[in-house]
């Protein structure tokens, strides 16, 4: 498994950021049809997200909350059908003066067994994932800071 990590500083309290990232509303986007949880968001909660691709195909993603330390850490494990592998994604919040350092970590198998591979492919995938997470954190910063 590869560990992919990137951080950003957001001018808000850990409480405000945690409240946002640990809410079902934050999981919605233009591709999300619905988000449902089997109860209040806490350790062990199962979350079902229905997504629609740009071609209109709908898929269901199932995750479980595996890290829940209020105002410090929120993480989920997303279960994938083979050949894809499960993915663990975690937000880590650290007070930094009047702001908060937000670190996004993901643990994933970048090259599942049976997938064709070329030299440098894993590094390319990792760079693309980091770029995507940096974009997501920038969007989070914009949402939180206004």
pLDDT value of position 140:
94
pLDDT value of position 123:
85
pLDDT value of position 72:
98
Separation between Cα atoms, residue 116 and residue 6, nearest integer Å:
27
pLDDT value of position 76:
95
CATH number for the domain harbouring residue 83: 3.30.530.20
pLDDT value of position 30:
80
Report the SS3 class of residue 104. strand
Report the SS3 class of residue 66. strand
Over its length of 146 residues, how does the chain's per-residue pLDDT go in tens digits? 789 999 999 999 999 999 999 999 888 888 888 999 999 999 999 999 998 888 888 888 899 999 999 999 999 999 987 767 889 999 999 999 899 999 999 998 876 666 667 777 788 888 988 999 999 999 999 999 98
Give how many domains the chain has, as a whole number: 1
Encode 9-48: b = buried (16+ Cβ within 10 Å), e = exposed: ebebbbeebbebbbeeeebeeeeeeebebeeeeeeebebe
Separation between Cα atoms, residue 62 and residue 136, nearest integer Å:
20
Domain that holds residue 136: 2-145
Q: What residues form DSSP beta bridges with 5?
A: 105
């Amino acid at each position: 498994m590869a560990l992919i990590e990137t951080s950003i500083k957001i001018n808000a309290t850990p409480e405000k950021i945690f409240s946002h990232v640990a809410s079902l509303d934050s999981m919605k986007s233009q591709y999300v049809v619905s988000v449902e949880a089997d109860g209040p968001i806490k350790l062990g909660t199962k979350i079902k997200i229905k997504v629609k691709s740009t071609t209109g195909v709908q898929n269901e993603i199932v995750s479980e909350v595996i890290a829940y330390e209020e105002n410090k850490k929120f993480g989920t494990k997303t279960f994938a059908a083979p050949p894809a592998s499960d993915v663990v994604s975690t937000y880590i919040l650290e007070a930094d003066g009047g702001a908060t350092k937000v670190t996004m970590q993901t643990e994933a198998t970048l090259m599942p067994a049976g997938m064709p591979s070329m030299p440098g492919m894993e590094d390319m995938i990792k760079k693309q994932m980091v770029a995507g997470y940096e974009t997501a954190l920038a969007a989070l910063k914009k949402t939180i800071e206004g």
